[in-house]
Chains A and B, each alone.
Chain A
Amino acid sequence: MSIEKMEATELLGFNKFEVDEEEPHIVLDKEICKKCQEKPCLTVCPAVLYTLDKNGDISFDHAGCLECGTCRVMCKNKGIQKWTYPRGTFGVNFRYG
Protein backbone atom coordinates (compact mmCIF):
# COMPACT_ATOMS: atom_id res chain seq x y z
CA MET A 1 0.00 0.00 0.00
CA SER A 2 1.26 3.44 -0.80
CA ILE A 3 0.99 6.59 1.24
CA GLU A 4 -2.34 8.30 0.69
CA LYS A 5 -4.84 10.60 2.29
CA MET A 6 -6.81 8.56 4.76
CA GLU A 7 -10.10 8.92 6.59
CA ALA A 8 -9.91 8.95 10.38
CA THR A 9 -11.79 5.65 10.64
CA GLU A 10 -9.18 4.06 8.42
CA LEU A 11 -6.34 5.47 10.54
CA LEU A 12 -7.97 4.29 13.76
CA GLY A 13 -8.10 0.83 12.24
CA PHE A 14 -4.32 0.61 12.65
CA ASN A 15 -4.59 1.08 16.42
CA LYS A 16 -5.18 -1.48 19.13
CA PHE A 17 -8.24 -0.74 21.28
CA GLU A 18 -9.77 -2.54 24.23
CA VAL A 19 -13.27 -1.05 24.16
CA ASP A 20 -15.16 -0.79 27.44
CA GLU A 21 -18.68 -1.69 26.32
CA GLU A 22 -20.15 -1.44 29.82
CA GLU A 23 -18.88 1.93 30.89
CA PRO A 24 -18.20 4.64 28.29
CA HIS A 25 -15.59 7.06 29.61
CA ILE A 26 -17.14 10.01 27.78
CA VAL A 27 -20.86 10.74 28.06
CA LEU A 28 -22.73 13.55 26.30
CA ASP A 29 -25.91 15.38 27.17
CA LYS A 30 -27.32 15.50 23.65
CA GLU A 31 -29.93 18.10 24.58
CA ILE A 32 -27.14 20.56 25.41
CA CYS A 33 -25.22 19.56 22.26
CA LYS A 34 -28.34 20.23 20.19
CA LYS A 35 -28.40 23.83 21.43
CA CYS A 36 -24.65 24.37 21.06
CA GLN A 37 -24.03 26.74 18.17
CA GLU A 38 -20.25 26.32 17.80
CA LYS A 39 -19.84 22.55 18.04
CA PRO A 40 -16.02 22.73 18.14
CA CYS A 41 -15.88 18.96 18.76
CA LEU A 42 -16.66 18.37 15.06
CA THR A 43 -13.38 20.00 14.07
CA VAL A 44 -10.90 19.40 16.88
CA CYS A 45 -11.33 15.70 17.72
CA PRO A 46 -8.29 14.09 16.05
CA ALA A 47 -10.21 10.84 15.69
CA VAL A 48 -13.29 12.57 14.21
CA LEU A 49 -15.56 10.72 16.66
CA TYR A 50 -18.05 13.58 16.80
CA THR A 51 -20.21 13.80 13.69
CA LEU A 52 -23.62 15.17 12.77
CA ASP A 53 -26.33 12.62 12.11
CA LYS A 54 -29.20 12.98 9.65
CA ASN A 55 -31.23 15.11 12.07
CA GLY A 56 -28.32 17.47 12.61
CA ASP A 57 -27.71 16.09 16.11
CA ILE A 58 -24.28 15.25 17.47
CA SER A 59 -23.45 11.61 17.16
CA PHE A 60 -20.52 10.23 19.17
CA ASP A 61 -18.69 6.95 19.64
CA HIS A 62 -16.18 6.48 22.44
CA ALA A 63 -14.72 3.35 20.85
CA GLY A 64 -11.90 4.97 18.83
CA CYS A 65 -10.96 7.58 21.44
CA LEU A 66 -7.25 8.48 21.55
CA GLU A 67 -7.72 9.88 25.10
CA CYS A 68 -6.10 13.23 24.27
CA GLY A 69 -8.65 15.37 26.13
CA THR A 70 -9.14 18.00 23.42
CA CYS A 71 -12.94 17.70 23.29
CA ARG A 72 -13.12 18.14 27.05
CA VAL A 73 -11.20 21.42 27.11
CA MET A 74 -13.03 22.74 24.04
CA CYS A 75 -16.56 21.91 25.21
CA LYS A 76 -17.64 25.22 26.70
CA ASN A 77 -21.37 24.51 26.96
CA LYS A 78 -20.83 21.38 29.06
CA GLY A 79 -22.44 19.04 26.56
CA ILE A 80 -19.78 16.60 27.76
CA GLN A 81 -21.35 15.42 30.98
CA LYS A 82 -18.59 13.05 31.91
CA TRP A 83 -14.98 12.81 30.74
CA THR A 84 -12.66 10.44 32.56
CA TYR A 85 -9.91 8.16 31.41
CA PRO A 86 -11.15 4.66 30.59
CA ARG A 87 -11.10 2.14 33.44
CA GLY A 88 -7.78 0.34 33.91
CA THR A 89 -6.70 -1.84 30.93
CA PHE A 90 -9.42 -0.38 28.65
CA GLY A 91 -9.06 2.11 25.81
CA VAL A 92 -6.28 2.68 23.32
CA ASN A 93 -3.00 0.74 23.57
CA PHE A 94 -0.22 2.49 21.71
CA ARG A 95 2.49 0.13 20.46
CA TYR A 96 4.73 2.95 19.24
CA GLY A 97 3.43 6.19 20.77
Chain B
Amino acid sequence: MSGDDKFDAIIIGAGPAGSACAYTLAKAGKSVLMIERGNTPGSKNVTGGRLYSYALDLLEPGLWEEAALERKVTHEQIMMLSKEQSVKIDYSNPAYNLEGQIPHSFTVLRAVFDEWLAGKAEEMGAMVACGILVDDLIEENGRIVGVKAGEDDMYADVVIAADGVNSFIAQKAGVFGDLEASTLGVGVKEIIELPAKTIEERFNLKDGEGTALLILGCTEGIHGGGFLYTNKESISLGCVFTPTEAAENGRQIHDIFQDMKMHPAILPLLEGGQTVEYGAHLVREEGFRGIPQKLYKEGLLVIGEAAGFVINVGYSIRGIDLAIVSGIAAAQAIISGKAPGPAYMEQLASLKLLPSMKAVDRYFDLLEIHRLYSTYPNIATDVFHLLFTVDGNEPPNVKKEMLKILKENNLSVWQLMKDGIRGVKSI
Protein backbone atom coordinates (compact mmCIF):
# COMPACT_ATOMS: atom_id res chain seq x y z
CA MET B 1 0.00 0.00 0.00
CA SER B 2 1.42 3.36 -0.94
CA GLY B 3 1.97 5.82 1.88
CA ASP B 4 0.84 8.70 -0.34
CA ASP B 5 -2.76 7.54 -0.62
CA LYS B 6 -5.15 9.73 1.25
CA PHE B 7 -8.60 8.44 2.00
CA ASP B 8 -11.73 10.33 2.89
CA ALA B 9 -11.97 8.05 5.93
CA ILE B 10 -9.94 5.34 7.64
CA ILE B 11 -11.88 3.04 9.94
CA ILE B 12 -10.06 1.00 12.58
CA GLY B 13 -11.91 -2.25 13.23
CA ALA B 14 -14.26 -4.21 10.96
CA GLY B 15 -16.93 -5.03 13.51
CA PRO B 16 -20.57 -4.02 13.00
CA ALA B 17 -19.86 -0.37 13.86
CA GLY B 18 -16.94 -0.08 11.47
CA SER B 19 -18.66 -1.96 8.66
CA ALA B 20 -21.93 0.01 8.98
CA CYS B 21 -19.89 3.20 8.80
CA ALA B 22 -17.82 1.96 5.83
CA TYR B 23 -20.98 0.82 4.03
CA THR B 24 -22.73 4.17 4.42
CA LEU B 25 -19.67 6.21 3.47
CA ALA B 26 -18.80 4.06 0.45
CA LYS B 27 -22.40 4.16 -0.73
CA ALA B 28 -22.17 7.96 -0.71
CA GLY B 29 -19.08 7.75 -2.90
CA LYS B 30 -16.44 8.38 -0.24
CA SER B 31 -13.09 6.60 -0.37
CA VAL B 32 -12.87 4.36 2.68
CA LEU B 33 -10.16 2.14 4.10
CA MET B 34 -11.24 -0.23 6.88
CA ILE B 35 -8.36 -1.87 8.77
CA GLU B 36 -8.94 -5.08 10.73
CA ARG B 37 -6.38 -6.82 12.95
CA GLY B 38 -7.97 -10.26 12.57
CA ASN B 39 -7.35 -12.51 9.57
CA THR B 40 -10.99 -11.98 8.62
CA PRO B 41 -13.56 -9.47 9.90
CA GLY B 42 -15.13 -10.92 13.06
CA SER B 43 -12.33 -13.36 13.84
CA LYS B 44 -11.42 -11.36 16.96
CA ASN B 45 -14.97 -10.70 18.08
CA VAL B 46 -17.27 -12.38 20.57
CA THR B 47 -20.88 -11.60 21.37
CA GLY B 48 -23.67 -12.99 23.55
CA GLY B 49 -25.45 -12.65 21.02
CA ARG B 50 -28.42 -11.14 19.52
CA LEU B 51 -29.04 -8.36 17.02
CA TYR B 52 -32.14 -6.16 17.11
CA SER B 53 -33.19 -5.93 13.49
CA TYR B 54 -34.25 -2.27 13.26
CA ALA B 55 -30.57 -1.26 13.12
CA LEU B 56 -29.84 -3.40 10.08
CA ASP B 57 -32.92 -1.98 8.39
CA LEU B 58 -31.71 1.52 9.17
CA LEU B 59 -28.47 0.68 7.35
CA GLU B 60 -30.30 -0.60 4.29
CA PRO B 61 -33.97 -1.55 4.13
CA GLY B 62 -34.37 -5.22 3.28
CA LEU B 63 -30.70 -6.06 3.87
CA TRP B 64 -31.69 -8.42 6.68
CA GLU B 65 -33.17 -10.86 4.18
CA GLU B 66 -29.74 -11.85 2.93
CA ALA B 67 -27.86 -11.26 6.19
CA ALA B 68 -25.80 -13.99 7.86
CA LEU B 69 -28.14 -14.36 10.83
CA GLU B 70 -28.93 -17.43 12.91
CA ARG B 71 -32.54 -17.67 14.20
CA LYS B 72 -35.29 -15.11 14.65
CA VAL B 73 -35.97 -14.79 18.38
CA THR B 74 -39.50 -15.90 19.09
CA HIS B 75 -39.08 -16.74 22.77
CA GLU B 76 -37.72 -14.41 25.45
CA GLN B 77 -36.95 -16.24 28.66
CA ILE B 78 -35.66 -15.34 32.11
CA MET B 79 -34.49 -18.06 34.45
CA MET B 80 -33.62 -17.89 38.12
CA LEU B 81 -31.43 -20.56 39.62
CA SER B 82 -30.68 -21.68 43.13
CA LYS B 83 -28.47 -24.64 43.95
CA GLU B 84 -30.60 -27.27 42.22
CA GLN B 85 -33.93 -25.61 41.57
CA SER B 86 -35.03 -23.22 38.85
CA VAL B 87 -37.87 -20.88 37.88
CA LYS B 88 -38.33 -19.90 34.24
CA ILE B 89 -40.50 -17.22 32.66
CA ASP B 90 -41.22 -17.50 28.95
CA TYR B 91 -42.57 -14.63 26.89
CA SER B 92 -43.60 -14.88 23.28
CA ASN B 93 -45.48 -12.49 21.05
CA PRO B 94 -46.37 -13.34 17.44
CA ALA B 95 -46.54 -9.59 16.67
CA TYR B 96 -42.71 -9.54 16.86
CA ASN B 97 -42.54 -11.97 13.98
CA LEU B 98 -45.40 -11.30 11.58
CA GLU B 99 -45.20 -12.84 8.12
CA GLY B 100 -43.83 -10.38 5.59
CA GLN B 101 -42.31 -8.09 8.20
CA ILE B 102 -38.80 -7.90 9.51
CA PRO B 103 -38.53 -10.05 12.66
CA HIS B 104 -37.85 -8.14 15.88
CA SER B 105 -34.44 -9.68 16.62
CA PHE B 106 -32.08 -12.45 15.58
CA THR B 107 -29.44 -14.56 17.27
CA VAL B 108 -26.02 -14.11 15.67
CA LEU B 109 -22.51 -15.50 15.61
CA ARG B 110 -20.10 -12.63 15.23
CA ALA B 111 -17.37 -14.30 13.21
CA VAL B 112 -20.02 -15.15 10.61
CA PHE B 113 -22.07 -11.97 10.76
CA ASP B 114 -19.14 -9.53 10.83
CA GLU B 115 -17.51 -11.14 7.82
CA TRP B 116 -20.75 -10.87 5.89
CA LEU B 117 -21.33 -7.21 6.83
CA ALA B 118 -17.75 -6.22 5.99
CA GLY B 119 -18.30 -7.97 2.64
CA LYS B 120 -21.33 -5.78 2.00
CA ALA B 121 -19.24 -2.67 2.75
CA GLU B 122 -16.66 -3.98 0.29
CA GLU B 123 -19.37 -4.45 -2.35
CA MET B 124 -20.25 -0.78 -1.85
CA GLY B 125 -16.64 0.11 -2.66
CA ALA B 126 -14.91 0.24 0.72
CA MET B 127 -11.40 -1.19 0.89
CA VAL B 128 -10.99 -3.79 3.65
CA ALA B 129 -7.46 -4.64 4.82
CA CYS B 130 -7.24 -7.59 7.24
CA GLY B 131 -4.40 -8.91 9.39
CA ILE B 132 -3.10 -5.42 10.16
CA LEU B 133 -2.82 -4.05 13.68
CA VAL B 134 -3.00 -0.26 13.90
CA ASP B 135 -0.27 0.76 16.34
CA ASP B 136 -0.84 4.46 16.64
CA LEU B 137 -2.46 7.64 15.37
CA ILE B 138 -0.69 10.32 13.38
CA GLU B 139 -1.30 13.76 14.78
CA GLU B 140 -0.40 17.08 13.20
CA ASN B 141 -1.06 20.39 14.97
CA GLY B 142 -3.54 18.83 17.35
CA ARG B 143 -5.45 17.10 14.57
CA ILE B 144 -5.56 13.36 13.82
CA VAL B 145 -4.56 12.95 10.17
CA GLY B 146 -3.88 9.24 9.84
CA VAL B 147 -2.77 5.95 11.35
CA LYS B 148 0.46 4.02 11.77
CA ALA B 149 0.55 0.28 11.23
CA GLY B 150 4.03 -1.25 11.36
CA GLU B 151 6.09 0.56 8.74
CA ASP B 152 3.07 2.02 6.98
CA ASP B 153 1.62 5.49 7.47
CA MET B 154 -1.85 5.99 6.08
CA TYR B 155 -3.68 9.30 5.83
CA ALA B 156 -7.31 10.37 5.82
CA ASP B 157 -9.53 13.40 6.38
CA VAL B 158 -11.07 11.59 9.29
CA VAL B 159 -10.13 8.51 11.32
CA ILE B 160 -12.85 6.43 12.95
CA ALA B 161 -12.07 4.35 16.02
CA ALA B 162 -14.23 1.23 15.91
CA ASP B 163 -11.72 -0.91 17.73
CA GLY B 164 -13.97 -2.34 20.42
CA VAL B 165 -14.18 -2.37 24.17
CA ASN B 166 -10.48 -1.92 24.96
CA SER B 167 -10.26 0.99 22.45
CA PHE B 168 -6.60 1.88 22.72
CA ILE B 169 -7.13 4.30 19.86
CA ALA B 170 -9.74 6.37 21.73
CA GLN B 171 -7.42 6.33 24.74
CA LYS B 172 -4.42 7.39 22.66
CA ALA B 173 -6.45 10.30 21.31
CA GLY B 174 -7.48 11.27 24.84
CA VAL B 175 -11.21 10.88 24.20
CA PHE B 176 -11.44 8.19 26.91
CA GLY B 177 -9.38 7.46 29.97
CA ASP B 178 -8.35 3.88 30.66
CA LEU B 179 -11.09 1.42 31.55
CA GLU B 180 -12.11 1.11 35.19
CA ALA B 181 -12.45 -2.57 36.15
CA SER B 182 -15.48 -1.98 38.38
CA THR B 183 -17.47 -0.63 35.40
CA LEU B 184 -16.93 -3.74 33.28
CA GLY B 185 -18.18 -7.25 32.96
CA VAL B 186 -16.06 -10.13 31.74
CA GLY B 187 -18.03 -12.58 29.67
CA VAL B 188 -17.09 -16.19 28.94
CA LYS B 189 -18.86 -18.33 26.39
CA GLU B 190 -18.94 -21.82 24.96
CA ILE B 191 -20.35 -22.62 21.55
CA ILE B 192 -21.99 -26.03 21.70
CA GLU B 193 -22.99 -27.72 18.46
CA LEU B 194 -26.33 -29.46 18.28
CA PRO B 195 -28.44 -30.51 15.26
CA ALA B 196 -31.09 -27.95 14.25
CA LYS B 197 -33.82 -30.54 14.77
CA THR B 198 -32.70 -31.24 18.35
CA ILE B 199 -32.64 -27.51 19.15
CA GLU B 200 -36.13 -27.06 17.73
CA GLU B 201 -37.55 -30.03 19.61
CA ARG B 202 -35.82 -29.16 22.87
CA PHE B 203 -36.77 -25.48 22.89
CA ASN B 204 -40.18 -25.99 21.36
CA LEU B 205 -39.38 -23.98 18.24
CA LYS B 206 -40.43 -24.12 14.62
CA ASP B 207 -37.90 -24.11 11.80
CA GLY B 208 -35.79 -20.94 11.97
CA GLU B 209 -37.18 -19.81 15.31
CA GLY B 210 -34.99 -19.17 18.33
CA THR B 211 -34.79 -18.56 22.04
CA ALA B 212 -32.97 -15.88 24.04
CA LEU B 213 -32.56 -16.87 27.68
CA LEU B 214 -31.08 -14.76 30.48
CA ILE B 215 -30.12 -16.41 33.75
CA LEU B 216 -29.90 -14.97 37.27
CA GLY B 217 -28.41 -16.74 40.26
CA CYS B 218 -25.53 -18.54 38.60
CA THR B 219 -22.65 -16.27 39.61
CA GLU B 220 -22.17 -17.11 43.31
CA GLY B 221 -23.61 -13.72 44.19
CA ILE B 222 -21.19 -11.82 41.94
CA HIS B 223 -22.81 -8.97 39.97
CA GLY B 224 -23.54 -10.65 36.63
CA GLY B 225 -25.59 -13.35 35.01
CA GLY B 226 -25.76 -16.05 32.42
CA PHE B 227 -27.17 -16.26 28.91
CA LEU B 228 -28.16 -18.85 26.36
CA TYR B 229 -28.97 -18.15 22.72
CA THR B 230 -30.03 -20.78 20.20
CA ASN B 231 -28.23 -20.51 16.87
CA LYS B 232 -29.02 -22.50 13.70
CA GLU B 233 -26.97 -25.52 14.69
CA SER B 234 -25.38 -24.51 17.95
CA ILE B 235 -26.04 -22.97 21.33
CA SER B 236 -24.20 -19.96 22.75
CA LEU B 237 -23.96 -20.49 26.50
CA GLY B 238 -22.16 -17.91 28.58
CA CYS B 239 -21.84 -15.98 31.80
CA VAL B 240 -20.79 -12.42 32.66
CA PHE B 241 -19.06 -11.37 35.89
CA THR B 242 -17.91 -8.06 37.34
CA PRO B 243 -14.19 -8.83 37.51
CA THR B 244 -13.48 -6.86 40.70
CA GLU B 245 -16.08 -8.90 42.58
CA ALA B 246 -14.90 -12.12 40.97
CA ALA B 247 -11.40 -11.42 42.28
CA GLU B 248 -12.76 -10.94 45.81
CA ASN B 249 -14.83 -14.11 45.49
CA GLY B 250 -11.62 -16.02 44.81
CA ARG B 251 -12.96 -18.79 42.56
CA GLN B 252 -11.99 -18.84 38.91
CA ILE B 253 -14.77 -17.43 36.74
CA HIS B 254 -14.15 -20.27 34.32
CA ASP B 255 -14.96 -22.71 37.11
CA ILE B 256 -18.17 -20.93 38.19
CA PHE B 257 -19.29 -20.91 34.55
CA GLN B 258 -18.63 -24.65 34.24
CA ASP B 259 -20.83 -25.22 37.29
CA MET B 260 -23.61 -23.22 35.66
CA LYS B 261 -23.32 -25.45 32.60
CA MET B 262 -23.85 -28.50 34.80
CA HIS B 263 -26.90 -27.08 36.64
CA PRO B 264 -29.86 -29.50 36.44
CA ALA B 265 -31.91 -26.83 34.64
CA ILE B 266 -29.20 -26.10 32.03
CA LEU B 267 -27.51 -29.41 31.29
CA PRO B 268 -30.55 -31.10 29.67
CA LEU B 269 -30.66 -28.22 27.15
CA LEU B 270 -27.14 -29.05 26.02
CA GLU B 271 -27.07 -32.83 26.28
CA GLY B 272 -25.64 -34.64 23.27
CA GLY B 273 -23.91 -31.46 22.13
CA GLN B 274 -20.26 -30.90 21.37
CA THR B 275 -18.30 -27.84 22.46
CA VAL B 276 -16.51 -26.30 19.48
CA GLU B 277 -15.23 -22.95 20.79
CA TYR B 278 -14.49 -21.06 24.00
CA GLY B 279 -14.46 -17.28 23.90
CA ALA B 280 -14.23 -14.29 26.23
CA HIS B 281 -14.91 -10.60 25.97
CA LEU B 282 -15.10 -7.51 28.17
CA VAL B 283 -18.40 -5.64 28.29
CA ARG B 284 -18.93 -2.03 29.26
CA GLU B 285 -21.63 -2.00 31.92
CA GLU B 286 -21.83 1.68 32.81
CA GLY B 287 -24.21 2.79 30.09
CA PHE B 288 -24.95 6.46 29.52
CA ARG B 289 -23.12 7.74 32.59
CA GLY B 290 -19.84 6.28 31.34
CA ILE B 291 -19.86 8.15 28.02
CA PRO B 292 -17.95 11.44 27.68
CA GLN B 293 -19.73 14.55 26.38
CA LYS B 294 -17.50 14.55 23.32
CA LEU B 295 -16.93 11.32 21.44
CA TYR B 296 -14.53 12.96 19.05
CA LYS B 297 -11.38 14.90 18.64
CA GLU B 298 -10.35 16.97 15.63
CA GLY B 299 -10.02 14.37 12.84
CA LEU B 300 -11.27 11.43 14.93
CA LEU B 301 -14.67 9.92 15.78
CA VAL B 302 -15.26 7.07 18.23
CA ILE B 303 -18.06 4.58 17.49
CA GLY B 304 -19.50 1.25 18.68
CA GLU B 305 -18.31 -0.45 21.83
CA ALA B 306 -15.19 1.73 21.75
CA ALA B 307 -17.58 4.58 22.54
CA GLY B 308 -19.25 2.60 25.35
CA PHE B 309 -22.48 1.97 23.44
CA VAL B 310 -23.95 -0.92 25.43
CA ILE B 311 -27.35 -1.03 27.13
CA ASN B 312 -27.86 -3.61 29.87
CA VAL B 313 -31.22 -3.43 31.61
CA GLY B 314 -30.96 -6.88 33.16
CA TYR B 315 -33.63 -8.56 31.04
CA SER B 316 -32.12 -7.58 27.71
CA ILE B 317 -28.69 -6.53 26.49
CA ARG B 318 -28.03 -4.37 23.46
CA GLY B 319 -24.76 -3.69 21.73
CA ILE B 320 -24.63 -4.71 18.07
CA ASP B 321 -27.66 -2.58 17.14
CA LEU B 322 -26.12 0.45 18.85
CA ALA B 323 -22.82 -0.24 17.09
CA ILE B 324 -24.52 -0.22 13.68
CA VAL B 325 -26.51 2.95 14.47
CA SER B 326 -23.37 4.75 15.68
CA GLY B 327 -21.54 3.73 12.50
CA ILE B 328 -24.35 5.20 10.41
CA ALA B 329 -24.34 8.34 12.59
CA ALA B 330 -20.60 8.87 12.06
CA ALA B 331 -20.91 8.30 8.32
CA GLN B 332 -23.81 10.72 7.99
CA ALA B 333 -21.90 13.33 9.97
CA ILE B 334 -18.99 13.04 7.54
CA ILE B 335 -21.27 13.09 4.48
CA SER B 336 -23.07 16.20 5.79
CA GLY B 337 -19.96 18.28 5.15
CA LYS B 338 -20.25 20.00 8.53
CA ALA B 339 -17.59 19.73 11.22
CA PRO B 340 -17.67 15.92 11.73
CA GLY B 341 -17.33 15.88 15.54
CA PRO B 342 -20.31 18.06 16.52
CA ALA B 343 -22.34 16.70 13.58
CA TYR B 344 -21.70 13.16 14.86
CA MET B 345 -23.02 14.04 18.32
CA GLU B 346 -26.11 15.56 16.64
CA GLN B 347 -26.63 12.39 14.61
CA LEU B 348 -26.32 10.22 17.74
CA ALA B 349 -29.13 12.27 19.21
CA SER B 350 -31.36 12.33 16.13
CA LEU B 351 -30.94 8.58 15.53
CA LYS B 352 -32.09 8.19 19.17
CA LEU B 353 -28.96 6.42 20.32
CA LEU B 354 -27.89 8.74 23.14
CA PRO B 355 -31.50 9.48 24.21
CA SER B 356 -32.16 5.70 24.40
CA MET B 357 -29.14 5.22 26.63
CA LYS B 358 -30.12 8.17 28.78
CA ALA B 359 -33.69 6.88 29.17
CA VAL B 360 -32.51 3.66 30.82
CA ASP B 361 -29.57 5.12 32.69
CA ARG B 362 -31.10 4.49 36.11
CA TYR B 363 -31.25 0.74 35.52
CA PHE B 364 -27.60 0.85 36.47
CA ASP B 365 -28.69 1.61 40.06
CA LEU B 366 -31.20 -1.23 39.99
CA LEU B 367 -28.55 -3.70 38.86
CA GLU B 368 -26.35 -2.55 41.74
CA ILE B 369 -28.71 -4.28 44.15
CA HIS B 370 -26.60 -7.30 45.00
CA ARG B 371 -29.46 -9.39 46.24
CA LEU B 372 -30.52 -9.80 42.57
CA TYR B 373 -27.65 -12.20 41.99
CA SER B 374 -28.21 -14.65 44.78
CA THR B 375 -30.82 -13.83 47.44
CA TYR B 376 -33.76 -13.17 45.11
CA PRO B 377 -33.21 -16.19 42.85
CA ASN B 378 -33.01 -18.33 46.02
CA ILE B 379 -36.21 -16.79 47.40
CA ALA B 380 -37.99 -17.31 44.08
CA THR B 381 -37.23 -21.03 43.99
CA ASP B 382 -38.06 -21.40 47.72
CA VAL B 383 -41.45 -19.76 47.16
CA PHE B 384 -42.24 -22.01 44.19
CA HIS B 385 -41.15 -25.01 46.21
CA LEU B 386 -43.59 -23.95 48.91
CA LEU B 387 -46.46 -23.45 46.45
CA PHE B 388 -45.98 -26.62 44.41
CA THR B 389 -45.13 -29.18 47.07
CA VAL B 390 -47.96 -31.61 47.85
CA ASP B 391 -47.00 -34.38 50.24
CA GLY B 392 -50.24 -35.44 51.91
CA ASN B 393 -49.61 -33.29 54.96
CA GLU B 394 -51.79 -30.34 55.89
CA PRO B 395 -50.69 -27.49 53.56
CA PRO B 396 -48.68 -24.83 55.38
CA ASN B 397 -49.86 -21.29 55.99
CA VAL B 398 -48.39 -19.56 52.95
CA LYS B 399 -48.00 -16.13 54.57
CA LYS B 400 -46.19 -17.57 57.56
CA GLU B 401 -43.97 -19.73 55.39
CA MET B 402 -43.12 -16.79 53.12
CA LEU B 403 -41.86 -14.83 56.10
CA LYS B 404 -39.83 -17.86 57.12
CA ILE B 405 -38.30 -18.01 53.64
CA LEU B 406 -37.27 -14.36 53.88
CA LYS B 407 -35.71 -15.02 57.26
CA GLU B 408 -33.84 -18.08 56.00
CA ASN B 409 -32.43 -15.96 53.20
CA ASN B 410 -31.37 -13.25 55.66
CA LEU B 411 -33.76 -10.70 54.24
CA SER B 412 -36.04 -8.54 56.36
CA VAL B 413 -39.43 -7.36 55.13
CA TRP B 414 -38.08 -3.84 55.53
CA GLN B 415 -35.09 -4.61 53.26
CA LEU B 416 -37.41 -6.20 50.71
CA MET B 417 -39.54 -3.06 50.67
CA LYS B 418 -36.48 -0.84 50.38
CA ASP B 419 -35.22 -2.84 47.37
CA GLY B 420 -38.72 -2.67 45.89
CA ILE B 421 -38.83 1.10 46.21
CA ARG B 422 -35.30 1.40 44.83
CA GLY B 423 -36.28 -0.86 41.97
CA VAL B 424 -39.35 1.17 41.07
CA LYS B 425 -37.36 4.40 41.30
CA SER B 426 -34.65 3.00 39.03
CA ILE B 427 -36.98 2.17 36.21
Asked whether A43 is an interface residue with its Cβ less than 8 Å from the other chain, the reply is yes
Give min CB distance, A40 to chain B, whole Å: 4
**A2 neighbours in B (Cβ, 8 Å):** 271-272
B412 on interface, CB distance cutoff 8 Å: no
Residues of A within 8 A of B188 (CB): 46
Chain A residues whose CB sits within 8 angstroms of the CB of B44 once the complex forms: 67, 85, 91-94
B276 within 8 A of A: yes
Chain B residues in 8 Å Cβ range of A87: 133
- With contacts A11-B278, A48-B252, A97-B279 known, is A3 near B273, CB below 8 A? yes
Shortest distance from the beta carbon of A72 to any chain B beta carbon, whole Å: 8
Interface flags, B136-164, vs A, CB<8A=1, else 0 = 00000000000001100000000000000
Whether A95 lies near B111 (C-beta < 8 A) is yes
Are A5 and B278 in contact (CB-based, < 8 A)? Answer: no
- Docked Cα-Cα span, A73 to B171, in Å, equals 13
Residue tally, chain B, CB below 8 Å to A? 64
Q: Does B403 contact A (CB under 8 A)?
A: no
Q: Does B274 contact A (CB under 8 A)?
A: yes
Q: Which residue in B43, B168, B236, B272 is a CB contact (below 8 Å) of A93?
A: B43
The answer to whether the Cβ of A74 comes within 8 Å of any Cβ in the partner chain is yes
Complex contacts, A89 vs chain B, CB 8 Å = 39, 131
Q: Tell me which residues from 40 to 97 in chain A have a Cβ below 8 Å from any Cβ of chain B.
A: 40, 42-44, 46-48, 66-70, 72-74, 84-89, 91-97
The verdict on A14 contacting B131 (CB below 8 Å), with A42-B252, A96-B109 known, is no
B192 to chain A, nearest CB (A): 7
Size bracket, chain A contacts = 35 or more
Inter-chain contact B282/A69, CB cutoff 8 Å: yes
Q: How far is the CB of B230 from chain A (nearest CB, A)?
A: 13
Residues of B within 8 A of A96 (CB): 109-112, 191, 234, 236, 276-277, 279
A88 CA to B110 CA, complexed, in Å: 19
User: Is B244 interfacial (CB 8 A cutoff)?
Assistant: yes
Tell me if A38 counts as interface (CB < 8 A to partner B). Answer: yes
Q: Check if B133 sits within 8 Å of A88, measured CB to CB.
A: yes
Is B402 an interface position by the 8 A CB rule?
Answer: no
| Contact of B244 with A46 in the complex, beta carbons under 8 Å | no
By beta carbon, the residue of chain A nearest B258 is: A5
Pair A97/B278 contact, Cβ less than 8 Å = no
**CB-contact partner of B279 in A72, A86, A94, under 8 A:** A94
- B119 within 8 A of partner (CB): no
Contact residues, B152-209 vs A (CB, 8 A): 165-166, 168, 178-181, 184, 186, 188, 190-192
Task: For the complex formed, measure the closest distance between the CB of B164 and the CB atoms of chain A, giving whole angstroms.
Answer: 9
Is B186 a contact of A94 with CB atoms below 8 Å? no
B42 at the interface (CB under 8 A from A): yes
Question: What CA separation (Å) do A60 and B399 show in the bound complex?
Answer: 55
Determine the chain A residues whose CB is within 8 A of the CB of B274 once the complex forms.
Answer: 1
Among listed B77-85, B259-267, B335-343, interface-contacting one: B259-267
Compute how far the CA of A96 lies from the CA of B43 in the bound complex, rounded to whole angstroms.
Answer: 8
Known contacts A86-B133, A87-B133; A97 and B109 CB within 8 A of each other = yes
On chain B, the residues within 8 Å of A11 by CB distance are 190, 254, 275, 278
In this assembly, does B371 line the interface, its C-beta being within 8 Å of a C-beta of chain A? no
Min CB distance B14 to A, Å, is 12
Closest Cβ–Cβ distance, residue A11 to chain B (whole Å): 4
Task: Indicate the member of A15, A38, A97 with the most B CB atoms within 10 Å.
Answer: A97
Residues facing A in B36-82 (CB within 8 A) are 37-40, 42-47
B247 touches A14 (CB 8 A): no
A68: which B residues are within 8 A, CB to CB?
A: 46, 186, 280-282
Min CB–CB distance A6 → chain B (angstroms): 6
Asked whether any CB of chain A lies closer than 8 Å to the CB of B246, the reply is: yes
A32 within 8 Å of B (CB atoms): no
| Option from B47, B178, B254 in Cβ contact (under 8 Å) with A46 | B254
Contact call A97/B46, Cβ cutoff below 8 A: yes
Measuring CB to CB, which residues of chain A are less than 8 angstroms from any residue of chain B?
1-6, 8, 11-12, 14-15, 18, 38, 40, 42-44, 46-48, 66-70, 72-74, 84-89, 91-97
Q: List 14 A-B contacts (CB under 8 A).
A: A2-B271, A3-B261, A40-B244, A43-B249, A43-B251, A44-B247, A46-B188, A46-B278, A68-B281, A69-B166, A69-B179, A94-B111, A96-B279, A97-B45
B interface residues with partner A (beta carbon < 8 Å): 37-40, 42-47, 109-112, 114, 131-133, 149-150, 165-166, 168, 178-181, 184, 186, 188, 190-192, 234, 236, 241, 243-244, 246-247, 249-254, 258-259, 261-262, 267, 270-282
Beyond known contacts A70-B243, A95-B276: 16 more, CB 8 A cutoff: A3-B267, A3-B270, A11-B190, A14-B276, A46-B186, A47-B280, A70-B280, A84-B133, A85-B133, A89-B131, A94-B277, A96-B110, A96-B111, A96-B112, A97-B45, A97-B47
